Amino acid sequence: DNFYWGGVYDYCGSGDFTRPYSNGGSIEHKLDPVNQFKEIFEDIYNGPGLDGKMWLGVLGNHDWGGFRFDQAWDQAIGYTWNYEWYSKKRWLTPALYYYVTVKYPDFVVDYYFLDTNVWDALPYGENPPHNICGPHNPWNANCGLPHGPTGPADNCVGWFKNLWEVQKRWLDGIVPKSKAHWRIVVTHFPPYWGKWEWQYLAPRHEFDAIITGHRHSQNMHGPTDPVGKIWPEDVTKPETNEFLDPTAWIVSGGGGGITSEHMPNNGGWDDQYGFVHMELKKEKLMFTL
């Protein structure tokens, strides 16, 4: 998620989605007019090692609104082309899905950025606290102007399912053209959401790694790592982590606001918060939590 909890505090459908809060701002923004792009992104993620580095992103469920879909997710895309005085022009989220080819000195990586919020786009009355298409949406909510969902009374669930199907067909068209040494997927939901889909997609497209977020804790599994439970604290979930071998999957765990799935340790000896260090070489990929 770019902005936790409720995404950009405005509504979708602005006439100029490149200008933050151009739709007047949501109730939250009017009560506390914080410029999230400036104060949470530009003023935080800067300094040696970060200055001048592009910030490539995808939308998470909270960028859509958490339990609704009509927040200014389109402005999170539009900020890619913003003209704000405080912007360092590093934000790059040009679409709901896209790919980038990065040429390093002696190898090439193709990054495929996908929207997997279909896994939180549920039937209207199901799991209201975590349902993009659920009853927290105003009945007249409509993001049709930026080609988004057109309302809980319409086919919100179907819209997200169609978005996912379109992306799969898109992958079928572009991945076979790849000349890269490595193929890496970047998306929000870990691949054990919809794992039957990833068990088909990963070998089909020879993805080497899937980098994700969503959960408020870090996790990772590679083909040589020990087999263990994905949810060790939940006796009702027996799923184990080797389901996608030999494709590695990583949960960054860098977000979550003030919430944590487990008790954090002040010394850092835990899997809560933090960031993932990725080291790329022609011969191997290395991920360190």
Q: Which domains does the chain have, with CATH numbers?
A: 27-288 (3.60.21)
Question: What Cα–Cα distance (Å) separates residue 11 from each residue in 54, 60, 73, 253?
Answer: 26, 16, 8, 27
Calculate the CA 211 to chain-centre distance.
Answer: 9
Question: How much is the pLDDT for 19?
Answer: 96
Contact assessment for residue 113 and residue 76, using Cβ atoms and an 8 Å cutoff: no
What digits encode the pLDDT tens for the residues 217-270?
Answer: 888 999 999 999 998 888 899 999 999 999 999 998 765 566 777 777 777 777
Question: How much is the pLDDT for 257?
Answer: 60
Tokens of 57: 């992103």
Residue 265's contacts (CB-CB under 8 Å, 6 or more residues apart) are 272
Question: How much is the pLDDT for 254?
Answer: 64
Tokens of 149: 């969902």
Question: How much is the pLDDT for 29?
Answer: 94
Contact assessment for residue 87 and residue 71, using Cβ atoms and an 8 Å cutoff: no
Query: Rounded to two decimals, what is the model's pTM?
Result: 0.94
Residues in the chain with pLDDT values less than 50: none
Half-sphere exposure of 32 (CA within 13 A, CB side): 6
Rounded to the nearest 10 degrees, how much is the dihedral formed by the CA atoms of 260, 265, 266, 268?
Answer: -100
